[in-house]
Amino acid sequence: MISSVKQGTRPMASWLSEGRLAAKVVVLLAIILAACIAVHSGAGSLVNVFVTGGMWALLAAGLALVFGVMNIVNFAHGESFMVGSYVGFYVFSPIRDYLADHPNPVLSLGAPLIGIAVAALAGAVLGVLSERLVLAPLRRRTKEGWIMNTFLLTAGISFILVNSANIVMTANFKGVPNYFDIEPVRIFGVRISVDRFAALLIAVVIIMAITWFLKWTRTGQAIRAVSQDETGAEMAGINLNYIHTLTYALSTAMAAAAGASLLFIFQAYPTVGHDPNFYAWYVVMLVGLGNVYGAVIGGFLVALLQTATQEFIGIAWADVVPTAVMILILIVVPSGIFGSVVKGVHEQS
Partner 1 sequence: MSNHHDRQAAQGPAGALVQGLRRIGFSPLGAALFALLLLVPILPFFSNEYIIRWTIIGAFLAAQAVAFDFTAGFINVVPFGFAAIVGVGAYTSAIFSNTSLNLVFHPAISPWAGIWIGALVSGAVGFGLGVLTLRLRGIFAAVMSWFVGIALMGLARNMTWLTRGPSGMAPTTFFEETSNVPYLYIILAMLLVIYVTLNLITRSHIGLAFRAMGQNYDAACASGINPTRYRVMNFTVSSMYAGWLGGFYAHYVGSLTPTSIMDTSKTIEVLAIAYIGGRGSLWGGIVVAFPMVFLMESIRSHWTELPGIQFIIYGVLLILTMIYYPLGIAGIYGWVKKRLVPAVAK
Residue span 22-61 as binding mask against partner 1, x where in contact by CB under 8 A, dash where not:
----------------------------------------
Least spacing, CB of residue 232 vs partner 1, in Å:
24
**Helix 218-228 with 240-261: angle, nearest 10 deg:** 110
Q: Which of 147, 169, 204, 265 binds partner 1 (CB under 8 A)?
A: 147
The distance in angstroms from the start CA to the end CA of the chain is: 10
Amino acid, res. 17: S
Least spacing, CB of residue 10 vs partner 1, in Å:
22
319 binds partner 1 (CB under 8 A): yes
**Contacts with partner 1: how many residues (CB under 8 A)?**
44
Q: Which of 28, 29, 32, 324 binds partner 1 (CB under 8 A)?
A: 324
Can you count the helices (H) and strands (E) in the chain? 14, 2
3-state secondary structure of 186: strand
138 Cβ contact list (under 8 Å, min separation 6): 149, 150, 153
Least spacing, CB of residue 307 vs partner 1, in Å:
17
DSSP code of 2? -
Q: For the residues of 77-129, what is the DSSP string, one character each? A: HHHHHHHHHHHHHHHHHHHHHHHHHS--HHHHHHHHHHHHHHHHHHHHHHHHH
Q: Which of 110, 145, 184, 232 binds partner 1 (CB under 8 A)?
A: 145
Tell me the sheet residues that pair with 187.
190
Q: Please, which residue, 21 or 167, has the CB nearer to partner 1?
A: 167
149 binds partner 1 (CB under 8 A): yes
Amino acid, res. 217: T
153 binds partner 1 (CB under 8 A): yes
323 binds partner 1 (CB under 8 A): yes
Q: Which of 26, 73, 302, 305 binds partner 1 (CB under 8 A)?
A: 73
DSSP code of 274? H
209 binds partner 1 (CB under 8 A): no
Q: For the residues of 189-210, what is the DSSP string, one character each? A: TEEE-HHHHHHHHHHHHHHHHH
Least spacing, CB of residue 340 vs partner 1, in Å:
9
Q: Which of 160, 185, 209, 236 binds partner 1 (CB under 8 A)?
A: 160
Instruction: Say what the alpha-carbon torsion angle 26, 27, 33, 38 is, to the nearest 10 degrees.
Output: 170
Q: Which of 4, 166, 217, 239 binds partner 1 (CB under 8 A)?
A: 166
The total of other beta-carbon atoms located within 10 Å of residue 73's CB is 22
Q: Which of 4, 7, 164, 217 binds partner 1 (CB under 8 A)?
A: 164
User: Residue 102 and residue 108: Cα distance in Å, rounded?
Assistant: 10
Q: Please, which residue, 74 or 307, has the CB nearer to partner 1?
A: 74
Interface with partner 1 (CB under 8 A) = 1-2, 73, 134, 137-138, 141-142, 145, 147-149, 151-153, 155-160, 163-164, 166-167, 278, 281-282, 285, 289, 316-320, 323-324, 326-327, 330-331, 334, 348-349
